[in-house]
Amino acid sequence: MAYTAKENRYETAVFNRCGKSGIQLPVVSLGLWHNFGTNNDFENMKNMCFTAFDNGITHFDLANNYGPAPGSAEENFGKILHDEMHAYRDELIISTKAGYDMWKGPYGNYGSKKYLIASLDQSLKRLKLDYVDIFYHHRMDPDTPLEETMHALATIVHSGRALYAGLSNYNGETMKKAAAILKSLNCPFLINQNRYSMFDRTIEKNGLLQAAKEENKGIIAFSPLEQGLLSDRYLNGIPDDSRIKKDGRFLKETSITPELLGKLHKLNDLAKQRGQTLAQMALAWVLKDKTVTSVLIGASKPSQILENIRTANAAPFSKQELTKIDEIIL
């Protein structure tokens, strides 16, 4: 029997407008980077998707290479969407990307028109969709002319295979150049997706945060919890079911140093004073700048989603709290 969403799913949901567009995104979105691959439990995937949507998370974010294996996250989500959630398609924002290595040979990565169009066609088949809402170029390409990559995004949008274009992992200067090209091509460019957290301030340093403000584009932040470091997961050791134990590609055991643990405990104490968990405070910190439309969370179980969506109604930070966070981290 197909899934039936809760009637009250929007009662407490909070949305932010994405730049000066017509699109609003939930302040917390669900990223399928981890835990939707070949070896993950399919019933748990379904329950995470249902929990998210039942609580007002309308945005599900993917990429062609999410898994592992590459493509498997799109396949699994496509099956869930087709079999269980198809009745709610028009209530969902579904995004995917291309830019990293996906298949063998010279046409399977970066930013050529051939790669981007072929990749999206493959993604749509895996997702069992006619279109995605947002299609991103996943990373800057040092060799392909920016005009070619932007023309590919415009072609995709004008063909109806995506409604909006997005850019991911761009710096501020390149994003502004890309925005000008897309505007000249009458292609609606909506959003930037970049890493941003209390520990990673790169978008403040490379001009992306300021450029997004100037161009009236949204930002959606990935890894706002630094792969789970900015949570209570590692305060008392490394759990057996943690990402470090299961998959050390992005977060390694050696990164949990005594110095880092000291910072995490101080941040956790401040979060308690605010009536939050460390994860909730970390997400609220990313959302404090209104240019940031949404934060992307990864989850391994539904309870983590429920904890993180409580960030939506977090109290604003005082100047003293923001200064304290910087003193702890920087």
Q: What is the mean pLDDT of residues 20-45?
A: 97
- Which contacts qualify for 234-238: CB closer than 8 Å, 24 or more apart? 234/261, 234/264, 235/261, 235/264, 235/265, 235/268, 235/278
pLDDT number for residue 256: 83
Q: What is the pLDDT of residues 229-285, one digit of tens each?
A: 999 888 886 665 655 655 556 666 777 888 999 999 999 999 999 999 999 999 999
Across the range 177-183, mean pLDDT stands at 98
Question: What is the structure's pLDDT at 312?
Answer: 82
* Number of alpha carbons in the 13 Å side-chain half-sphere of residue 282: 32
Please list, in sequence order, all residues whose beta carbon lies within 8 angstroms of the beta carbon of residue 219, skipping any fewer than 6 positions away.
Answer: 191, 192, 193, 194, 196, 203, 208, 209, 212, 291, 292, 293
The C-alpha angle with vertex 324 and arms to 25 and 282, in degrees rounded to 5, equals 25
pLDDT of residue 313: 83
Q: What is the pLDDT of residue 242?
A: 59
Confidence band, pLDDT 50/70/90 cuts, at residue 93: very high
The alpha carbon of residue 86 and the mean position of all alpha carbons in its chain are separated, in whole angstroms, by 22
Phi, psi (deg, nearest 5) at residue 89: -50, -40
- Name residue 152's amino acid: A
- Band (pLDDT 50/70/90 cuts) for residue 122 is very high
Which domains are present in the chain? Answer: 15-329 (3.20.20.100)
Per the model's pLDDT, the better-predicted residue between 246 and 131 turns out to be: 131
Cα(313)–Cα(272) distance, rounded to whole angstroms?
16
pTM metric for this prediction: 0.94
Chain position carrying tokens 């925005």? 179
Give the whole-angstrom CA distance, residue 330 versus residue 323. 10
pLDDT at 248: 58
The Cα angle at residue 124 between residues 123 and 128, in degrees rounded to 5: 120
Region 44-49 average pLDDT:
98
Q: What is the mean pLDDT of residues 24-34?
A: 97
CA–CA dist 191, 173 (Å, integer):
15
Token reading at 279: 């994860």
Contact 37, 320 (CB under 8 A): no
